[in-house]
Amino acid sequence: MTDHAPEQLRTGNGGETHQVADDDHPVLTTNHGTPISDNQNQLKAGARGPVLLEDEVYREKINHFDHERIPERIVHARGSAAHGYFECTDSLADITVADLFQKKGQRTEVFTRFSTVAGGAGSIDTPRDVRGFAVKFYTREGNWDLVGNNIPVFFIQDAIKFPDLIHAAKMEADRGYPQAATAHDTFWDFISLMPESTHMIMWAMSDRTLPRTFANMEGFGVHTFRLINKEGKSTFVKFHWKPKAGLASTIWDETVKIAGADPDFQRRDLFERIERGDYPEWELGVQLFDEEFANSQPYDVLDATKIIPEEVLPVRIVGKMVLDRYPDNYFAETEQAAFVPSHVVPGIGFSNDPLLQGRLFSYTDTQLSRLGSVNFHQLPINSAKGRAEAAGCPFMNQQRDGHMQMAVSKGRANYEPNSLANVGEPGGAREDSHGGYKTFPSEEQGQKLRVRPESFADHYSQARLFFRSMDPAEQAHIASALVFELSKVSLEHIRTAMMANLRNVDETLARRVADGLAMDLPKASKTAAPVLDMDPSPALRIIRGPREKHTLEGRTVGILIADGTDADALKTLKDAVKKAGGRAMTISPKVGAVPLSDGSTVKADAQLFGQPSVTVDACAVILSGEATAKLTKEGAAVQWVMDAFGHLKAIGANDEAKPLLGKAGVEPDAGVTDLADFVEAAKKRYWDREPSVRTLA
């Protein structure tokens, strides 16, 4: 086989690009030898209709993919989770019959799992990667799994491409690396040939994929769902999780060093927050709209590569989630938790989003492979908890036996209907025609086709919207991330193809990437639809955006101390940090008793070599003159301060410690303060410092 050439590519109805068989490329077939005419789209009833179960090409492909790994998850393997509750704060009784949204103040137990996507279970917490954000609601009408990400869009429009995406993103098949990283040929080859991925790539290369902690992430349901009220009226909905702690990310250099200092950084942070009672909290918001609104937008709400900007349709806050209990057993709970998007409750339904429709099948299939049994719902972490049925059983039906059956069903009635109750025997459960789950009766018609609607064809307008909505610092980070990733791509034609696509997003961005790679800028790639200049959305920003929160609540201040540190200054600073809602962590060259200026001693919380400044949110230095003289000769201490400055953190110091700051190259700015002004300064990062400490693309 030879490398693909431009003339071997064709564009489908939605603008997707893929190869056509010719003399150098054998015909793509099913495992049973049937030639495949379209490997880009599921079979649908009409261009915007639901996908069809008879699609053997999709089912064979996704079946095989779902069963590729045992027992680790193929994706989202690296996960951390916690128990908590959801509380309704604004009733949606007029919009949906879903029980958990009926009454203000009503609480529902939840289990929430955060994860990376590409890495294995033993990979690090902090790669540049999308984060899974999955919530299991144990409602009084059964379990609802809202299975989303920390990014509101996805790489692909149709689920039939998911195996291809993940195969390309995972470590390369021949060499087994890189692990938990997309900076390699196969990923960017796939992305360069899939223009529909461009919007997601803007998010993936942004600071969104470098969250500081789980508590600083947004979460999204990604797809358009339905809410259905008691009259049977349907309202479209998109789900949003808004972090109480505010959005915060790391800087790439900081992230790399965190990975080396603490591969479990985010998992540890989640555990420690809960242990000290600083419970992570999110607000649940909804964007509600009807068919008329959907049809009036310049994009298709069934397209998972698109958002509805919050400035166009505000997010209505309807509840909050608090995580207040860490799992007792990682395997039994976090690892065995099975999240399935098709698990919904009365009042919640689905749209015809082809990515969502594919997930409704795929996730159950995956759990059957991973957990080994149709009875995975009987594992305690997956079992419905909200129902109060006979004998304490949370589920009632005639399904029996199977591998790992744990329920002991009584009586002869393992079928329905039956009349055994008439003779005094258990007759089993019956359907509930009034309160049972009802699918919204949407009208669907159309030819059986493998096609995407023309409304899915615009792949660049929202990518442009995202990039142009960013703060200049975030735009620089995106350009720098693209340069880093593409510099790891060994095949020049892939880099060229990506830059051709980037020209359709923003000319300045494409030029910055080309300059960073020292390559000529190619012609822009052809587009399947006009590229629109949409109004910027400030809500998409982290830096200087509406959800960048200047606070010490839930954050950690590292205080470097040593023999002879001023006791009063230390106590005053620790008290001030605590009053501001932060956590003060003392760090010393030695973790034993540290003698202070008044003759007392204090046990340091951490040792200098094991607690680099990347692991804290702001840094203070309180040293005696003698200790400063010693530490200016200690590389770890100099690096501790140097990294804090380079990572744009606030730095406070007493007069005696300032020679250490000078040795570390710290220059005066608004974030470098005396101890008296430090706590207020510590509430934010200093993005204006960045151009003076690093050169970005």
Question: Does 71 sit behind a cis peptide bond, omega within 30 degrees of 0 on the bond before it?
Answer: yes
- Quick check: is 149 catalytic? yes
Distance of alpha carbon 482 from alpha carbon 198, whole angstroms: 12
Residue whose C-alpha is closest to residue 132's, from 68, 214, 65, 197: 214
Instruction: Output the six-digit token pair for 86.
Output: 């959801």
Cβ proximity of 184 and 488 under 8 Å: yes
Distance of alpha carbon 210 from alpha carbon 369, whole angstroms: 31
* Annotated active-site residue in 13, 18, 41, 76: 76
Cβ proximity of 269 and 574 under 8 Å: no
The kind and range of the H/E element at 501 are helix 492-502
Task: Tell me how far the alpha carbon of residue 242 is from its chain's centroid.
Answer: 13
> 479-506: b or e for each residue (b if 16 or more CB lie within 10 Å)?
bbbbbebbeebeeeebbbbbbbbbbbbb
Instruction: Output the six-digit token pair for 130.
Output: 């999308």
Instruction: Output the six-digit token pair for 537.
Output: 């959305």
Instruction: Output the six-digit token pair for 59.
Output: 């089912």
Q: Judge residue 631's burial from the number of C-beta atoms within 10 Å of its C-beta, 0-12 exposed, 13-18 middle, 19 or more buried.
A: buried
**Which amino acid type is present at position 321?**
M
Long-range contacts from 7-11, C-beta under 8 angstroms, 24+ separation: 9/193, 11/526, 11/528
Could you say which DSSP state residue 614 is in? G
Cα–Cα distances in angstroms (integers) from residue 191 to residues 18, 42, 68, 160, 332, in the given order: 11, 20, 22, 15, 37
Helix (H, G, I), strand (E, B) or coil at 269: helix
* Annotated active-site residue in 13, 41, 143, 149: 149
Distance of alpha carbon 11 from alpha carbon 467, whole angstroms: 25
Cβ proximity of 196 and 459 under 8 Å: yes
The partner residues of 289 in beta bridges, in order of sequence, read 236
Cα–Cα distances in angstroms (integers) from residue 4 to residues 10, 34, 37, 269, 493, in the given order: 12, 23, 19, 46, 10
- What angle, rounded to 10 degrees, do the helices at 472-487 and 492-502 form? 160
Q: Please give the backbone phi and psi of residue 320, each rounded to the nearest 5 degrees, phi first.
A: -140, 150
- Quick check: is 76 catalytic? yes
Cα–Cα distances in angstroms (integers) from residue 523 to residues 185, 487, 499, 506, 507, in the given order: 21, 20, 9, 13, 11
Torsion, Cα of 473, 477, 478, 480 (10° steps): 130
Residue whose C-alpha is closest to residue 66's, from 352, 332, 338, 331: 338
**Which amino acid type is present at position 286?**
V
Q: Judge residue 231's burial from the number of C-beta atoms within 10 Å of its C-beta, 0-12 exposed, 13-18 middle, 19 or more buried.
A: exposed
- List residues with catalytic annotation: 76, 149
